[in-house]
Amino acid sequence: MGKLTVEECGIKGVKVITPQVFRDERGYFVETYQKKDFEAIGIDVEFVQDNQSASRKGVIRGLHFQKEFPQDKLVRVLRGAVYDVAVDLREGSETFGKYFGVELSEENKKMFFIPKGFAHGFLVLSDYAEFAYKCSDFYHPGDEGGIIYNDPEIGVKWPIEEGMELIFSEKDKKWGGLAEYVASRN
């Protein structure tokens, strides 16, 4: 077995990656990124920026994308658990408007590779979560776009617990749906 196990997700380019974890009585060690190993699984990307965020249970961030400066992203959870989603926005893609979601947690150590041309977002499932991601382009203020998290055309099945209070930024409450995104591109 190699250092990385890859799960294809039914959407070209999207991958769930599980690294090899070495555990003993002291704790664990995991190599989270090694360029040659990622090239071997078909991810030949130069990452130029690392980001980290912390959020409490019920926070939904997204669904975000960069319009003119799209980014490949490699995301993972350092603490807690999130449900992470990628929505295909690539023009001409046979899976346009489809999504894939996966639980990422400090326990499962999974990483999620989201190529350029996707909207991305997550829901915090644990009381607290720290989220880290690598990006292939720099953040450009004013270039951000988004789609509302509950657009029925996309139909993301968020694992929202009964009674869970959902928390959004003001910006994320105002995004339109997939139809508005398509209309804005024409």
Six token digits for residue 86: 């990628």
**CA 118 – CA 167 distance, rounded (Å):** 22
**CA 89 – CA 33 distance, rounded (Å):** 26
Q: Are 68 and 140 in contact (CB under 8 A)?
A: yes
User: How many other C-beta atoms can be found within 10 angstroms of the C-beta atom of residue 161?
Assistant: 8
Catalytic residue among 64, 83, 149, 181: 64
Residue 64 annotated to the active site: yes
Six token digits for residue 8: 């294809």
Catalytic residue among 83, 99, 120, 133: 133
Q: Are 67 and 144 in contact (CB under 8 A)?
A: yes
Q: Where are the beta strands (DSSP E) in the chain?
A: 4-8, 15-19, 21-24, 27-30, 49-56, 60-66, 73-79, 81-88, 99-105, 111-114, 118-124, 128-135, 144-146
Task: Give the DSSP per-residue string, 96-138.
Answer: TT-EEEEEEETTT--EEEE-TTEEEEEEE-SSEEEEEEEESS-
What positions carry a catalytic annotation? 64, 133
